[in-house]
Structure 1
C-alpha cells in the first residue's frame, strides 16, 4: 500500500477486511519461549476523521472461541479455563478517544472487555498505507499493539499458571479496513 498525501483523504466510515486483518497475541511461556496466537473470527468498524483525528472512533468484536495457537490442547485450555468462552463468548474493544501523535502515529484509548471485565487500554497505531484496490475500493492499513496484564481481566487458572505463563501479553493488530460507499 502507498500512503495518501493528506489525512483528510482518509475521512469516512470503514469496515474491517477480515481476510487481510490479523488480530494476534504474544505471551512468554516458562519464561523461555514465546507463544504466538491469533483470533480467526472477528468483526469491526471505524469512523476516521482525517481533518480532526480526535473525532475518529473504532469498535472491534472478537469471537473468543476462535483463538488459535497451533496446539489443540493449549487452545482448548485457553478457551475453557483462561477465557471461559461458554460464559464470555466475545472480547470487545470500543474506542473512547483518539489522539494523533505525529503524521502517521496515533493512540486509540478505549474499553477492552475480556471475561466480562472492562478496563481502559491505549493502543499505539501507525498508519501503514492507503490506496484504491483494483476493484476501486479504498483501503487503509494500520499496525498497532498494546501490552496488558492478563490478571487485570481475570485471565488466570491457578498458582502454577503464574510461573509458567507470563502475566504480560502483547496484543497485536495488523488491520486493513475498506471504506464504505
Structure 2
C-alpha cells in the first residue's frame, strides 16, 4: 500500500503547553488553531512525515491580559512572527509509537526537536464516510532557546516565568 496523505482536522486536534509560574504552580494554555499534513506509510513508517502550522494569535491561557502579553514583543511577537511551524526530518518507529524529529520554528528561531509519539491509531471510517487516524505526542523545550527570554525576578528569589515549556499534542487527521 502506498503512503497515505492526511490533513490535520483543526476541530479535533489540540496543542497544549504548561510552564512554571512564580516557582509555585504551572500555568496551562493551548493554541486553538492548528493545521497541517501527515503522510503515513504503514509499510515503512520511517518514511512518514508531518508538517504543522500553529496560529500564534490563537493562544488561550484563560486570561485575556496574559494572552495579550504572550502575543506581544516580550514573548511570541505575533505581529512579526504570526505562526509556529514544525516540519519533520526523521521518523523512528517502535511498537505503539515512535519518535518524530524535526525543525520547530518559534519566534523566528528554528531548532531541532524530538516528539515522543503514541500512535498512530488504526484508520477508522467516521459516520460521514471520511477515513481518520489519530496520534498523541509530547516534548519539552527551553523557551530561551527560541529567544523567549522576558522574565521578572521575584522578591523571594526565583523568577516569574519558568524556562521549561512542556508540550502535549493530540492530532486527528482525515485522509486527503
Does TM, scored on the shorter chain, surpass 0.5? yes
Matches within 5 A, 1:65-76: 65-76=57-68
Which residue in 2 is equivalent to 1:171? 167
CA distance in 2, matches of 1:128, 1:90: 25
Query: Counting helix residues as a fraction of each chain, which structure ranks higher?
Result: 1
User: Residue 133 in 1 paired to residue 126 in 2?
Assistant: yes
Matches within 5 A, 1:5-20: 11-20=3-12
RMSD: 1.6
Which residue in 2 is equivalent to 1:89? 82
| Secondary structure, counterpart of 2:10 in structure 1 | coil
User: Residue 107 in 1 paired to residue 99 in 2?
Assistant: yes
Deviation at 1:11, TM superposition (A): 4.1
Indicate conservation of the 8 Å contact 2:152/2:161, yes or no: no
Consecutive unaligned residues of structure 1, counting only runs of 5 or more, are 1-7
User: Residue 143 in 1 paired to residue 136 in 2?
Assistant: yes
Runs of 4+ in 1 over 4 A off after TM superposition: none
| Secondary structure, counterpart of 1:160 in structure 2 | coil
CA distance in 1, matches of 2:79, 2:90: 31
CA distance in 2, matches of 1:87, 1:17: 26
Scaled by the length of structure 2, the TM-score of the pair is: 0.92
Which residue in 1 is equivalent to 2:34? 42
User: More displaced, 157-166 or 37-46?
Assistant: 157-166
